Amino acid sequence: MKPNYRQETEAIEAAGKLWAKSMLESALRGTLAEVSGRAFQFKDGDYQVVDYETGVSRSLELKCRGAGAILMTMEKYSVIYADPPWRYDFSPSKCRSIEENYPTMSVEEICSLPVPAADNAVLYLWATAPKLLEALAVMKAWGFEYKTHAIWDKEILGIGHWFRGQHELLLVGVKGKISPPEESLRIKSVIREKRGRHSAKPDSVREHISRWFPRALKLEIFARACYSGWSVWGNEAKDSISLPNVVLTQREDPQPDLFS
């Protein structure tokens, strides 16, 4: 059984003190710790993440900030899953309504994110119908080439100027060379699942991606929670990684870790 120091690590992060680094070193020194489904160790003065299947270790950097201890990873991910907080040119009242649920970003801000994608990677990118062109621009800015898309049928009518929207798009882009899912695991291009809370996407999509790429390093951008087998970046996730030169304002009510 692998050692688990989740409680100690969460206590360190909650404390938000400058001595978080020394405490974490003490907790991890000479052994492995599992945090958000990832294996970490402190060895020879270096933070490392360990792949249990291959035994390969990669260096990490620990940043101590007012919000607590944050692990920064220099890893490159073969699977990127993103649900950007698109900003719309609605009336001021509608825009304020969206901002009350989550802070939005301009297309330029989303395009400029330093996404840590590997040379050979796949991107699953959510987009609404009005934001299709912007989503393709984001995909290109992040270094991916559009391949195809799936449709999420929310089974509930929404609002809209030309049509009452009932679907969203899941775009697929590829960088370098990466194989698609095995034929026996491929699903229909129309995903029918009833819409839940505001802007939340079906958990089944992430579960499918996990099955398609079980051994790949996976990163969810704009994540709302933490999931086993995934690194996450987002102001609603408790164990968010950091992206270079990007300041992430953590929400006061981050979502809990969710393990399957």
Name the DSSP letter for residue 182.
P
**Angle subtended by helix axes 20-28 and 6-15, to nearest 10:** 170
Within a 10 A sphere around the Cβ of 85, how many other Cβ atoms?
17
- 81 shares a domain with 69: no
Give the torsion through C-alpha atoms of 218, 223, 226, 227, to 10 deg.
Answer: -50
- The CB-side HSE value for 169 (13 A sphere, CA atoms) comes to 17
Let me know: does 20 contact 28? Beta carbons within 8 Å.
Answer: no
- 156 shares a domain with 37: no
pLDDT at site 41: 54
* Stronger pLDDT, 16 or 51, i.e. the higher one: 51
pTM of the model: 0.68
- 82 shares a domain with 60: no
Q: Where are the alpha helices (DSSP H) in the chain?
A: 6-15, 20-28, 92-101, 107-111, 132-141, 203-212
* Stronger pLDDT, 64 or 208, i.e. the higher one: 208
What are the structure tokens assigned to 11, written together? 């206590």
- 101 shares a domain with 116: yes
Determine how β-strand 257-258 pairs with β-strand 167-175. unpaired
Please give the backbone phi and psi of residue 35, each rounded to the nearest 5 degrees, phi first: -125, 120
Q: Which of 73, 106, 123 is the last residue of a domain?
A: 73
Report pLDDT digits (tens) over 203-258.
999 999 999 999 999 999 999 888 889 999 987 877 678 777 676 555 444 444 43
Q: Where are the alpha helices (DSSP H) in 165-225?
A: 203-212
- 104 shares a domain with 184: yes
Q: Which of 73, 93, 124 is the last residue of a domain?
A: 73
Query: Is 1 among the domain residues?
Result: no
- 161 shares a domain with 99: yes
Extract long-range pairs of 16-20: CB within 8 Å, 24+ residues apart: 16/65, 16/66, 16/67, 16/68, 18/64, 20/64, 20/68, 20/69
- 109 shares a domain with 206: yes
Query: Is 46 among the domain residues?
Result: yes
Query: Is 154 among the domain residues?
Result: yes
Domain CATH number, residue 179: 3.40.50
**Torsion sign across C-alpha atoms 163, 123, 211, 232:** negative
Query: Is 30 among the domain residues?
Result: yes
Query: Is 192 among the domain residues?
Result: yes
Please give the Cα distance from 101 to 125 (Å, whole number): 20
pLDDT above 90: residue 116 = yes
Query: Is 184 among the domain residues?
Result: yes
Residue ranges making up the domain that contains 52: 6-73
Query: Is 165 among the domain residues?
Result: yes
- 84 shares a domain with 56: no
pLDDT above 70: residue 138 = yes
Query: Is 119 among the domain residues?
Result: yes
- 215 shares a domain with 181: yes
Please give the Cα distance from 251 to 85 (Å, whole number): 15
Q: Which of 73, 95, 118 is the last residue of a domain?
A: 73
- 215 shares a domain with 170: yes
Number of structural domains the chain divides into: 2
- 177 shares a domain with 111: yes
pLDDT above 60: residue 67 = no
pLDDT above 50: residue 9 = no
- 156 shares a domain with 230: yes
Report pLDDT digits (tens) over 170-194.
999 999 999 999 999 999 999 999 9
Please give the Cα distance from 91 to 95 (Å, whole number): 6
